[in-house]
Amino acid sequence: MQKLFKKSLQKQISLYFILLTLLIINTVGWLFYFRSERYFDEELGKKLSGIARSAATLIDADLLSYIQPGSENGQFYASLQRRLKTLRNAFDLQRVYIVDVSRHLLVDSDSSGVIGATIPHLQSNLLELDAAQHGKAAYSTLYRGYDGNLYKSAFAPIFDTRKKISAIACVDASPAFLRVIDDIQDFLLIINLISFVIALILGYFLTRSITRPVKGLVKAAQRIALGDYSQPVAISAQNEIGFLGQTFNGMQESIRSKEEQLRALKQKAENEADAIKSYNELILQNIATGIMTIDLDGRLTVLNTEAARLLHLDRKQCIGKHFRKIFSPGHSFYPTLRAMYRMPPVNDFIETKIRFKEKPVPVSVRVSPLPDSNGQIIGSNWLLVDLSEVRELQTQIKEKEWLAYLGELSAAIAHEIRNPLNSITLFLGLLKRRADRQPEQLESIEKITSEIEALNSIVNDFLNFARPSGLQKEPFVLNELFNQTLFLAEKEISEKQIAVQIDIIPHGLTFFGDMGQLKQALLNVTLNAVQAMDIGGQLQLTAVQKNSGELRLEVSDNGKGIAPEHLDKIFKPFYSTRSQGTGLGLAIVQNIIRAHNGTIVVKNNPDKGARFIIELPKNKEN
């Protein structure tokens, strides 16, 4: 474990502290140095320019034309030289001299100066000399010469009586005076050195106060890593590190107390780890489209849940196996797979049917190549889409078209039948009054009237089926709907001594719809359930509101149930398993439920009987 801490935390903190301290001190010092140097440069330049202008006023420009090479020992040259020396000594300058416009020496405060000689360092000040030749005093920037000393010069024009520039006064600052800048730089270096030593000492003690408890925590962590929870961390600091030590001790105790639980859960966690799937795997397994992937060797590499359902396969046993070992020649999908694997269809997809014990399932199959990241084909993708719902929707559309036609036909037939029935009923009333005292004739008339009422009820069913009335929606309580339905069916329920159970969740559940039509639908379903049960049967009415807001109604009985071959036909018009039925009752129920944008299905109970399931969608009023 010690190898992990080759870079000591104490050394790192000390290094960061020292570097930060030096960075701050150096930054402030050098900023001070550069600002001082700039200020000193500007102030010295202004001072030298003033001295240069003073030197220009001391010289009579008209007399300078008399100075010729070899006049160094003349009285006139000596007089001018004394003036320049006086000026040099007064301002502690290195040199004061006069040059002509061609930049040759005329007068020099230095006795070694030769008339007509060139001044070498003037080549570094050409811009300033040009400014002076144009009538403006100028000074050079501070620079360091080849000898390591700093230099700075100033220049001022000398005008003759005609206001023409005949010479230039030059002033050079003293290196001793400029050496102050070097002294400042040396002073900053000394401060940096002292600061480094102080930062080193402070950094050592500061980091030591931080790293000692941290090292204690590290050692404790090493002990915990080895399974030793017996020694708590001893940290007396009353700061964040002390709080960290207390928290660490609490964590150590918590780990110790939960170690046994972790050991017990280890095996369970390892078993459950295999069941955890990535996000993409979850999408793959929950998508409504079946997906199957076969590599170039014919091995099945991917098989999601939907594909396994459609093909009746076990995913875990199929992955990695060759498709010929999975799909036997007797498998319903094998002919399609063999044909499409050898030669994928030119069209986007083909449609086939997969047959097992249940009814055939229409499936759309599409095959596409599977490339890798480099575009190389590594297999094929098979998309399987269950078309059962599509076919069901198509069947419903055809059924609606047929029902619309049948409704129009039924309405016409009912209308043609009702008119004669009304006339017959009228004449029977007249006959009844004439045969008032003839019991045999009255009995015959009553039988005819009863049959006419039955026939009229059938006509009403025709009309209700053909031309359902519009919905009159209003809010109502589900408990009231159930009570009124059972009241209308009370006679039939009492005759068979049916036990009724009502469940409404939540209590006081309300719905916004046409209570009259829903009552008619629920009554038809309830009567069908009662007729299917023997004496002493059990009828259950349930209303549940789902989390999505949808209403689910169920009517369940423990009767004989419905034969499987009748389940798909039970809602079709004129289809009935009873000799006396018209076959329109459940068809009318389905029309009422569809008018509410709902659905109704019938299923046999696992043990006994059947149940009708009605689902009504949530709307704004609900």
534 lies in the same domain as 443: no
Kindly tell me if the per-residue pLDDT of 277 is higher than 70.
Answer: no
458 lies in the same domain as 484: no
* Cα(88)–Cα(110) distance, integer angstroms: 10
| Lowest pLDDT segment from 212-226, 335-349, 431-445, 558-572 | 431-445
Q: Cα–Cα–Cα angle for 349, 355, 359, nearest 5°? A: 110
118 lies in the same domain as 147: yes
Kindly tell me if the per-residue pLDDT of 3 is higher than 50.
Answer: no
Q: Write the secondary structure of 35-85 as one string of H (helix), E (strand) and C (coil).
A: HHHHHHHHHHHHHHHHHHHHHHHHCCHHHHHHCCCCHHHCHHHHHHHHHHH
Q: What is the pLDDT of residue 1?
A: 42
Counting residues of the chain whose pLDDT is more than 90, the rounded percentage is 5
Q: What is the pLDDT of residue 2?
A: 44
Residues near 276 by Cβ (< 8 Å), separated by ≥ 6? none
The neighbouring-strand residues paired with 171 are: 96, 154
491 lies in the same domain as 436: no
203, 18 contact by CB (below 8 A): yes
Backbone dihedral angles phi then psi of residue 312, each to the nearest 5 degrees:
55, 55
Q: Cα–Cα–Cα angle for 430, 434, 440, nearest 5°? A: 110
Q: Cα–Cα–Cα angle for 572, 573, 576, nearest 5°? A: 80
> By three-state DSSP, how is residue 402 classified?
helix
Q: How confident is the model at residue 157 (pLDDT cuts 50, 70, 90)?
A: very high
* Cα(451)–Cα(433) distance, integer angstroms: 19
Q: How confident is the model at residue 327 (pLDDT cuts 50, 70, 90)?
A: confident
462 lies in the same domain as 490: no
Structural domain harbouring 119? 9-181
Instruction: Name the percent of the chain in helix, strand, coil, to the closest 5.
Output: 55, 20, 25
Residues in the chain: 622
Q: What is the pLDDT of residue 38?
A: 78
Q: What is the pLDDT of residue 169?
A: 92
157 lies in the same domain as 239: no
136, 130 contact by CB (below 8 A): no
Tell me the average pLDDT of the chain.
77
Domain of 45, CATH number, reads: 3.30.450.20
334, 318 contact by CB (below 8 A): no
* Cα(620)–Cα(614) distance, integer angstroms: 19
The neighbouring-strand residues paired with 100 are: 167
The two structure tokens encoding residue 136: 């403006």
Letter for the amino acid at 524?
Answer: N
Answer yes or no: is 621 within a domain.
no
Answer yes or no: is 209 within a domain.
no
Answer yes or no: is 239 within a domain.
yes
Domain final residue pick, 415, 435, 466: 466
The two structure tokens encoding residue 130: 């040009």
Domain final residue pick, 416, 436, 466: 466
Kindly tell me if the per-residue pLDDT of 92 is higher than 90.
Answer: no
The neighbouring-strand residues paired with 477 are: 510
Kindly tell me if the per-residue pLDDT of 306 is higher than 80.
Answer: yes
Q: Cα–Cα–Cα angle for 554, 557, 561, nearest 5°? A: 110
Residues near 560 by Cβ (< 8 Å), separated by ≥ 6? 532, 533, 609
Answer yes or no: is 374 within a domain.
yes
C-alpha dihedral over 242, 246, 252, 255, to 10 degrees? -130
513 lies in the same domain as 604: yes
pLDDT tens for 508-543 read: 888 898 888 888 889 888 988 888 888 989 999 999
DSSP character string of 147-192: TS-EE-EEEEEEE-TTS-EEEEEEEEE-HHHHHHHHHHHHHHHHHH
Kindly tell me if the per-residue pLDDT of 610 is higher than 50.
Answer: yes
pLDDT tens for 307-326 read: 888 888 888 888 888 888 88
The neighbouring-strand residues paired with 382 are: 292, 367
153 lies in the same domain as 243: no
pLDDT tens for 13-37 read: 667 767 777 777 777 767 776 777 7
* Cα(586)–Cα(286) distance, integer angstroms: 36
Domain final residue pick, 413, 446, 466: 466
Letter for the amino acid at 418?
Answer: R
> By three-state DSSP, how is residue 616 classified?
strand
More confident residue, 579 or 344: 344
Residues near 368 by Cβ (< 8 Å), separated by ≥ 6? 344, 380, 381, 383
Cβ of 586: how many Cβ atoms within 10 Å? 22
Q: What is the pLDDT of residue 590?
A: 82
* Cα(77)–Cα(62) distance, integer angstroms: 14
Number of domain units in the chain: 5
pLDDT tens for 391-434 read: 777 776 776 666 565 566 665 665 566 666 666 666 566 666 66
Cβ of 40: how many Cβ atoms within 10 Å? 16
Q: How confident is the model at residue 155 (pLDDT cuts 50, 70, 90)?
A: very high
Q: How confident is the model at residue 258 (pLDDT cuts 50, 70, 90)?
A: confident
Q: 415, 399, 368, 344: which is closest to 568 by C-alpha?
A: 399
Answer yes or no: is 418 within a domain.
yes
435 lies in the same domain as 560: no
Kindly tell me if the per-residue pLDDT of 40 is higher than 70.
Answer: yes
Answer yes or no: is 407 within a domain.
yes
55, 171 contact by CB (below 8 A): yes
Residues near 59 by Cβ (< 8 Å), separated by ≥ 6? 80, 83, 98, 107, 158, 167, 169
462 lies in the same domain as 530: no
The two structure tokens encoding residue 620: 């704004």
Answer yes or no: is 206 within a domain.
no
- 123-148: average pLDDT: 82
235, 242 contact by CB (below 8 A): yes
Q: Could you tell me how far CA 249 lies from the centroid of its own chain?
A: 38
Answer yes or no: is 105 within a domain.
yes
- Highest average pLDDT, of 336-340, 343-347, 535-539, comes from 535-539
Counting residues of the chain whose pLDDT is more than 70, the rounded percentage is 70
* Cα(241)–Cα(108) distance, integer angstroms: 75
* Cα(620)–Cα(622) distance, integer angstroms: 5
Rg for the chain (alpha carbons), in Å? 56
428 lies in the same domain as 571: no
Q: What is the pLDDT of residue 437?
A: 63
Q: What is the pLDDT of residue 238?
A: 60
Q: 172, 49, 167: which is closest to 99 by C-alpha?
A: 167
Domain of 484, CATH number, reads: 3.30.565.10
- 244-252: average pLDDT: 68
Cα atoms in the 13 Å half-sphere on the side-chain side of 82: 6
98 lies in the same domain as 235: no
Task: State the residue for tokens 């049917």.
Answer: 353
pLDDT tens for 459-510 read: 665 555 555 556 788 899 989 999 998 988 898 899 989 999 999 888 888 8
Edge-to-edge, what's the strand order for the sheet holding 153-159? 105-108, 93-100, 165-173, 153-159, 138-139
DSSP H/E element including 610: strand 610-616
Angle between helices 585-595 and 515-532 (to 10 degrees): 140
Q: How confident is the model at residue 248 (pLDDT cuts 50, 70, 90)?
A: low
pTM of the complete model beyond 0.85 = no
Helices (H), 226-333: 240-273, 279-286, 305-311, 315-318, 323-326
Cβ of 138: how many Cβ atoms within 10 Å? 22
597, 617 contact by CB (below 8 A): yes
Task: State the residue for tokens 């076959």.
Answer: 583
